[in-house]
Structure 1
Amino acid sequence: MPEFYEPHLDFSVPEHQNVMGVILSLNDPVDGDILRWAVEEMRVRIPYFYVKAAYRGDDLVTVPNDLCMTVRNTWEPICLHSEVSNYHLAAWKYEGRRLAFEIHHALTDASGVLPYVKSTMFLYLSKATGQTFDPAGFRLPGDMIPESETGNPFSELDIGSVEAPLYKKKPIPDFFRLSDGVDSRKTVFYVKLSERQVMQYCREYDGSPNVLISVLLAKAARRWNPESEKTITVSVCIDHKAMLGIRPNYRMFVGEALLDFPKARDMKDIAKACTIARGQLMLQAQPENSLWEIKKMKQMLASPSPDIAQASICISYVNSKTFGPLDPYIEEQYIVTSLSKITDILCEISCFNHSFFLAFMQPYTSDRYFRCFLDALDLAGISYEISGSEPLRMCGI
């Protein structure tokens, strides 16, 4: 049986393919030949992403895949773990100035993927521009792969002695839903915010980026359906590794903190709403809570089903602000995830090159709730730029 910290590859169902991706917009059109070269060069430094699924007894595990990882000049999806992807669990794609890397989410999360994407872009832009960049902070071919990056991230923790945390928020079973008819075509909207303006707002209103966006999304939900008496719930993703100070490891250990916004909550007072939400978040985002969740993983306790709704809205915030010397060559960065039934609305937030980039994902095409969110930004005095929208076209498995 694989160790508890190894990927659980069977955590996918037809309705939830469990795939995540990073989208970059460059200044210039992507050169496919150079990108293919860079992707293949990175194999020796990040071998844990160049894998395929195989059975070891009754267990589905990852093994090295010697075939080339695919790099295709189209945004149309393919299936990972298939002949067209050379049986890889990851793939690259590009169109015009945009490129994206998509991977089975069971292997890693955004904090694990971004160092790989960043380093691949180092090789790509070095060759595409002819420039010499400072290699500090990149993971490049020829570097030694540290044990902290690939080994047991919790080897120095006494997980067996961990006790239940003092506070654990109880889920709300009958919460506010943001369904919009029978349209089932998943859609993503891309929004850009000023980092300076958002952080100034957070300082003035006792917030943080994920708290502020949670409050504004909840406010938009109440505007979308003011008649509902149900409590709006926002699931904020928690990186258990980061909470425990274990940052280099590529594996995914993500939990959640649950924020609630009952009908009686005064959403006009942004400062008060942010203070309450931040208090809820701080109570749950504690090392003792993360240790308890890791212990449950080690004991192989059941994870939430991707088919069961857990919250009205889900937010994930990746705190990675720069590609270093590559920043002048990259215009946008968005994180996207295949949308499951765990939540109605998913908002992936990343900060890059002095801007916040929001990928606003929903299971239907109507922009009615998205417009309510833009209204909430307007009322808060936060300027925004809509970069576009499109069907959520991601690889299947």
Structure 2
Amino acid sequence: MARLGHISCGYHLINITYYEYSIYISFHHALCDGRGIMPFVETLIYYYCDLKYGKKTLPEGVRLAGSPLLPGETADPFLQQYDFDQNKEFINLSRDAFAILENVAVDERTNYRYEVRLPSVQYLSVCKKNNATPVILLALLMSRAITKLYPEYDKPINANIAADMRDALDAQNTFKNCVKSMILPYGREFSQKSLTEQAAEYRALLAAQRDRDYCRKEANAMIGLSDKLDSLGSYEEKQKIMSFFEGMSLNTYIVSYLGKFNFGENAQYISDIHFYNSGTTGLGINMSCCGNFFFLDFKQNFPSDKYVKAFCVELEKLGIEYTASGKIPFITPGDSIIARK
């Protein structure tokens, strides 16, 4: 893979490489987020399959190379402060959560991932039965699995969910980063409830954290940090502030759901789709959907398979079939944009 932002790839922030039957699409978070890259991926796959397998019906919503940009597609949603109801009482959830033993930074550059594939019909059937969404069921099963690995856990187990703020910020079409983190805690009292009850509680928690005013309040905090950085006179001063965030870790684990890729009839030619990066601390789970399967990527800075195995045990209890890979060591290149000491 190319080193994004480097002269070797013309300073580009997107790069395409391939090997045998795999296409690798590298993108830089300084340019866009996961939802921002999805339209590019969908268009790229459409053209590839058109050349390789013959023309199919263009999936609704997928754009061609000559299609115009959507209104506000290049807009930056963090250039101005937002109005919100300051008298509203907002939810307050603690990030003081249980930390898995491996949630510590290490010097080793190599990261590890495990790939899990689930039949979407089975998985969604269990979701529907328990009034859960794909992300809610994933978080419930992973947190339950962690309680089995750490039966003496003394703090809530937090699933930190990456959430899209586009609707709340009236920036529905922007490809730029527009996400925040939501919390789904799993404690001892909560663990005694049924799966359906747990799912209902998680739905309420997510709704409270997606509240329009709450999202705008949090966006203003992010903008405030940017304004503070802009007020500093040197790159070194800016780095000093941001180094505080580089050392932070989110307990207990992170979940990111990219959604379902719109490949139309061409989905039949895609066996797997995965998204991942190295250089993160602890445990993260990336989830996506394509064709008839959900794909989970357990990405870690440690080699142990105990978390993915414990998660798969919970799948078995619900009768959900799966296939799981072995350990996959990997490194994604660092960028050349920030001079790190």
TM-score range, shorter chain: 0.7 to 0.9
Give the number of aligned pairs: 318
Identity %: 24
Structure 2 equivalent of residue 74 of structure 1 = none
Structure 2 equivalent of residue 272 of structure 1 = 197
Q: Which one-letter code corresponds to 1:172 in the other structure? A: R
2:207 aligned residue (250, 275, 282): 282
Structure 2 equivalent of residue 60 of structure 1 = none
Question: 8 Å contact 2:161–2:254 — kept in the other structure?
Answer: yes
In 2, Cα distance between equivalents of 1:290 and 1:107 = 21
Matched, 1:329 2:252: no
Closer, same or farther: CA 324–84 of 1 in aligned 2, 3 Å:
same
Farther-moved stretch of structure 1 (248-257 vs 146-155): 146-155
Matched, 1:226 2:151: yes
Structure 2 equivalent of residue 138 of structure 1 = 62
Structure 1 equivalent of residue 161 of structure 2 = 236
Equivalences for 1:66-81 in 2 at 5 Å?
77-81=1-5
Give the deviation of 1:264 after TM superposition: 4.0
Give the deviation of 1:240 after TM superposition: 0.4
Question: 8 Å contact 1:178–1:345 — kept in the other structure?
Answer: no
Farther-moved stretch of structure 1 (269-278 vs 363-372): 269-278
Question: 8 Å contact 2:98–2:153 — kept in the other structure?
Answer: no
In 1, Cα distance between equivalents of 2:155 and 2:319 = 28
Give the deviation of 1:82 after TM superposition: 2.0
Equivalences for 1:201-216 in 2 at 5 Å?
201-216=126-141
Closer, same or farther: CA 264–136 of 1 in aligned 2, 3 Å:
closer
Which runs of 5 or more residues in structure 1 are unaligned?
Answer: 1-76
Matched, 1:355 2:293: yes
1:365 aligned residue (299, 303, 323): 303
Closer, same or farther: CA 191–267 of 1 in aligned 2, 3 Å:
farther
Q: Which one-letter code corresponds to 1:140 in the other structure? A: L
Q: Deviations over 1:149-200 (max 9, x none)?
A: 1134589x98245537522323233523241897954111111112222222
Structure 2 equivalent of residue 99 of structure 1 = 23
Structure 1 equivalent of residue 93 of structure 2 = 170
Q: Which one-letter code corresponds to 2:304 in the other structure? A: S
Closer, same or farther: CA 329–186 of 1 in aligned 2, 3 Å:
same
Structure 2 equivalent of residue 31 of structure 1 = none
Q: Secondary structure at the match of 2:334?
A: coil
In 2, Cα distance between equivalents of 1:269 and 1:340 = 33
Give the deviation of 1:298 after TM superposition: 3.1
Closer, same or farther: CA 165–335 of 1 in aligned 2, 3 Å:
farther
In 1, Cα distance between equivalents of 2:211 and 2:193 = 29
Farther-moved stretch of structure 1 (262-271 vs 368-377): 262-271
Equivalences for 1:55-74 in 2 at 5 Å?
none
Give the deviation of 1:265 after TM superposition: 3.2
Equivalences for 1:1-397 in 2 at 5 Å?
77-131=1-55, 133-134=57-58, 136-153=60-77, 159-160=82-83, 163=86, 166-179=89-102, 184=108, 185-244=110-169, 246-266=171-191, 269-300=194-225, 305-341=245-281, 344-387=282-325, 389-397=327-335
Give the deviation of 1:318 after TM superposition: 1.9
Give the deviation of 1:81 after TM superposition: 2.0
In 2, Cα distance between equivalents of 1:135 and 1:174 = 43
Closer, same or farther: CA 193–150 of 1 in aligned 2, 3 Å:
same
TM-score (norm 2): 0.83
Closer, same or farther: CA 258–141 of 1 in aligned 2, 3 Å:
same
Give the deviation of 1:309 after TM superposition: 1.3
Q: Deviations over 1:312-334 (max 9, x none)?
A: 11111122342123212222222
Closer, same or farther: CA 267–244 of 1 in aligned 2, 3 Å:
farther
Closer, same or farther: CA 180–106 of 1 in aligned 2, 3 Å:
closer
Cα RMSD of the aligned pairs, angstroms, is: 2.8
Q: Secondary structure at the match of 1:373?
A: helix
In 1, Cα distance between equivalents of 2:308 and 2:325 = 13
In 1, Cα distance between equivalents of 2:224 and 2:87 = 14
Q: Which one-letter code corresponds to 1:103 in the other structure? A: F
Which structure shows the higher strand fraction? 1
Q: Which one-letter code corresponds to 1:365 in the other structure? A: P
TM-score (norm 1): 0.72
